[in-house]
Homo-oligomer: A and B are copies of this chain.
Amino acid sequence: MVGGGLGAMIGGVHRIAARLDNRFDLVAGALSSTPETAARSAAEIGLAPERSYADFREMARAEAGREDGIEAVSVCTPNHLHFAAAKAFLERGIHVICDKPMTATLEEALELARIVAASDALFVLTHNYSAYPQIRLARDLVAQGALGPLRLVQVEYAQDWLAAPVESKQAAWRTDPARAGAGGAIGDIGTHAFQLARFVTGECPTRLAADLTSFVPGRRLDDNAQVMLRYASGAKGALWCSQVAPGTENGLKLRVYGETGGLAWSHETPETLWFTPLGEPARKLRRGGPEGTMAGSRVPAGHPEGYLEGFANIYSEAADAIRAAQAGERIETLLPGIADGIEGLRFIDACIRSNAAESGWVEILP
């Protein structure tokens, strides 16, 4: 693991997700850019001291040279380090599981794509929400034509934790352009919303018009974005992300409407997917229940699974893919990867360009 030391939130999530299905052992880390924090974090987590590194490049070098060196690495640093860390390991043939947004800039993202293409190692991006079983079911329904040709995509991701100025390790880097990249809310949560809609619909919008705001005085990155979307197919959409909406928690919601049916999903009840064929009653499709599968499930319907289990699906599927790769095979998976990462950075970049151009329509895709 790179990053994820004491005081980090998402590092702990990655560790649980990796462990949940017993597919990974955590044996080495560069857990902090502060050597002392790295060492203390490693001790707390139980790493052997000799495999706790003060620097991820050193870690990549050392682990690549060990007989029992790591097979894969989790990158969960602030955004500005994703590129360098991923590069260091990919270039040594070590599989990378990386948090999002993939890089700090679109240029880095495109460069990373070249590195991934040149490497034998896999690159997985933890857009964890796309691994909820009911989200995968939604994707299947769309792909099977259950909604007919798509017309509308409404997606939103609302939080309230940055509604007032916040002093915390989590908040500090996310609101600092030097560490978060050019996007605030659009990078941290907007990319999740964007990827979720793209994953379910199978379509990436081609143009957007965005209105970005920093509501909290002194904030240097956006904490709210209104975005209108257009698709090549003629579908349209809207994306709203906010970190200043009091009363919301981690409010990711997706609704997709086609000519003959509609879908609705909310993160507050992630095990329920609403599916309404036009002219029929709404059906409550439940994880593990009728008209679904047990894929990506651990316990029967009605025993709530949640965020960590969804995140673990990414890790466990990555383990499958890594084992296959080690055997010289590429298996089909639904894992988000380099293409999603590039689209995410294109999304951020397009939002910023549109916002600078008085919310005019700009191209997302080249």
**Which A residues form the contact surface with B (CB < 8 A)?**
9, 12-13, 15-16, 19-22, 46, 147, 151-152, 154, 156, 159-161, 163-164, 209, 211, 213, 215, 224, 226, 228, 230, 236-238, 240, 242, 244-251, 255, 257-264, 267-270, 274-286, 289-291, 298-309, 358-361
A153 CB, nearest partner CB in chain B, Å: 11
Determine if B302 and A305 form an interchain contact, defined as CB atoms under 8 angstroms apart: no
Copies in the complex: 4
Q: In the assembly, what is the distance between CA of A302 and CA of B249, in Å?
A: 5
Whole-angstrom distance from the CB of A237 to the nearest CB of chain B? 8
Check if B159 sits within 8 Å of A302, measured CB to CB: yes
A262-B246, A290-B279 are contacts. A211–B224 as well, Cβ < 8 Å?
no
Min CB–CB distance A234 → chain B (angstroms): 8
Taking a contact as CB atoms under 8 Å apart, the answer to whether B268 and A298 are in contact is: no
In the complex, what's the smallest C-beta–C-beta distance from A233 to chain B, in angstroms?
A: 12
**B246-A276 in contact (CB<8A):** yes
> Out of B151, B238, B270, which one reaches A240, CB within 8 Å?
B238
Contacts of A152 in B (CB 8 A): 224, 242, 244-245
Q: How long is the Cα–Cα vector from A156 to B156 in the complex, in angstroms?
A: 13
Measured between alpha carbons, how far is A61 from B223 in the docked complex, in Å? 59
Q: Which residues of B contact A308 (CB under 8 A)?
A: 20, 298-299, 303, 305, 308-309
| Shortest Cβ distance from A261 into B: residue | B246
**Are A286 and B163 neighbours in the complex by a CB distance under 8 Å?**
no
How many Å from the CB of A204 to the closest CB on chain B?
18
Q: Out of B226, B236, B238, B298, which one reaches A16, CB within 8 Å?
A: B298
Contact A281 B286 (CB under 8 A): yes
- Chain B positions within 8 Å of A260 at CB level: 163, 246
Indicate if the CB atoms of A304 and B267 lie closer than 8 Å: yes
In Å, the complex CA distance between A250 and B283 comes to 18
The CA of A174 and the CA of B249, in the complex, are separated in Å by 39
| Chain B residues whose C-beta falls within 8 Å of the C-beta of A250 in the assembled complex | 300-303
Given contacts A281-B283, A303-B308, 11 further A-B contacts (CB under 8 A): A16-B20, A19-B19, A161-B300, A163-B257, A238-B238, A246-B276, A247-B276, A247-B282, A280-B291, A282-B283, A283-B283
Given contacts A226-B236, A249-B289, A306-B306, contact A151 B215 (CB under 8 A): yes
A197 to chain B, nearest CB (A): 14
* A50: min CB distance to chain B, Å: 20
On whether A303 and B306 interact (CB within 8 A), knowing A226-B228, A291-B280, the answer reads yes
